[in-house]
Amino acid sequence: MMSINRISIDQAKEMLKTRADVQIVDIRDAHAYGAAHIPGSTHLSEQNLEQFCQETKSNIALIVMCYHGISSQSASAYLSNRGFSETYSLDGGFEAWQRVGGT
């Protein structure tokens, strides 16, 4: 089994500040994403997963986010298996990001 790279909110914020090749991928449902999300993040669902995998460069860093940091672990592993070289699961998910006043 593949190991899952986990990333803290502080590490994710630092990565977003210092690197241009980072994409946040939000796998929460469309209603939750529509209500609130991190600016610049991409909503990923079963409907656009294939298109995302085909159109997104595999050498950028993907930070995968869900509600609480559980589902994002398997989604991160899935994207890694699909050929993305650098994937992370955001610890605590969107809930934790909002609690610390994420941007």
Catalytic residues: 66
Residue 32: is it exposed, middle or buried by C-beta count within 10 angstroms (0-12/13-18/19+)?
middle
Note whether 48 and 77 are within 8 A (CB).
no
Among positive and negative, which fits the CA dihedral 11, 17, 22, 25? positive
